[in-house]
Structure 1
Amino acid sequence: MTRYYSYKGCGTCRKAMKWLSVHSIVVDELPIREAPPTIDELRVARKSGYSLKALFNSSGGDYRELNMKDKLPTLSEDEALELLHSRGNLVKRPFVISDKGALVGFKEAEWEQFFGVIS
């Protein structure tokens, strides 16, 4: 089953969910703040080609509050993944995980390819 992590106040998450609905793609929706992705799921995103920096919601309040712009370059990968897992607001959203890999953020062309949708 494809897991879809989102935040109800996120416009991009709503847009992505609408896209999934239009294409009849069923996902298990999870609240990213209350149930953040696991460290293993975050590692899948790394293996799917996303940089550590790309996994972070750099426009969010938590990112600024924790001064992640300066802190992130000093963290090991394990430390960064643990931080993402412990504080769901830091994760770039929407965050999708399945047996095919991961998607971070919503770029329609990437989603079409990932889900095999022909436009």
Structure 2
Amino acid sequence: MLTVYAYQKCSTCRDALKWLRDRGIPHEVKAIRETPPTVAELESVLSGTGGDIRKLFNTSGVDYRELGMKDKLPTMDQAAALELLSSNGNLVKRPFVTGDGKTLVGFKESDWAAALG
């Protein structure tokens, strides 16, 4: 079963969850702010991004800006970046999906259709 980490007030997350429901794709939803993805889940999704850690970050988020991540991320090692993401769900790009051998970050309908049918 897919696990979808989402934020209730995020319109993109709501669109993604509606897309899943409309297609009858079973999934469970976890509140990304209260229960961020684990380091292991982040690592599994990272491999699908070509190893670009920046793609896992919510670069338009308040926490990203307040923590100065634009300047810190280029010199941060991967382990530290993954630990930071796993401890602060506001930093994770959403929706964040893992399970059934699938991994997705963000919601682009064409990508979801290709990955999930």
1:45 alignment counterpart: 45
Write out per-residue CA displacement over residues 36-68 of structure 1, whole angstroms, 9 at most, x where no aligned residue. 000000000111125200100000000001000
Q: Which runs of 4+ in 1 moved over 4 A?
A: none
1:68 alignment counterpart: 69
Write out per-residue CA displacement over residues 41-99 of structure 1, whole angstroms, 9 at most, x where no aligned residue. 00001111252001000000000010000010111000000000000000000000013
1:12 Cα offset (Å): 0.2
Q: Residues of 2 paired with 1:13 and 1:47: CA distance?
A: 22
TM-score normalised per structure 1: 0.94
The residue correspondences of 1:1-119 to structure 2 (distance < 5 A) are 1-50=1-50, 51-116=52-117
Q: Residues of 2 paired with 1:71 and 1:57: CA distance?
A: 14
Q: Percent identity?
A: 53
One-letter code of the match for 1:4? V
Unaligned runs of 5+ in 2: none
TM-score normalised per structure 2: 0.96
Q: Residues of 2 paired with 1:69 and 1:106: CA distance?
A: 22
Write out per-residue CA displacement over residues 23-45 of structure 1, whole angstroms, 9 at most, x where no aligned residue. 11111100000000000000001
- Root-mean-square deviation over aligned CA pairs: 0.9
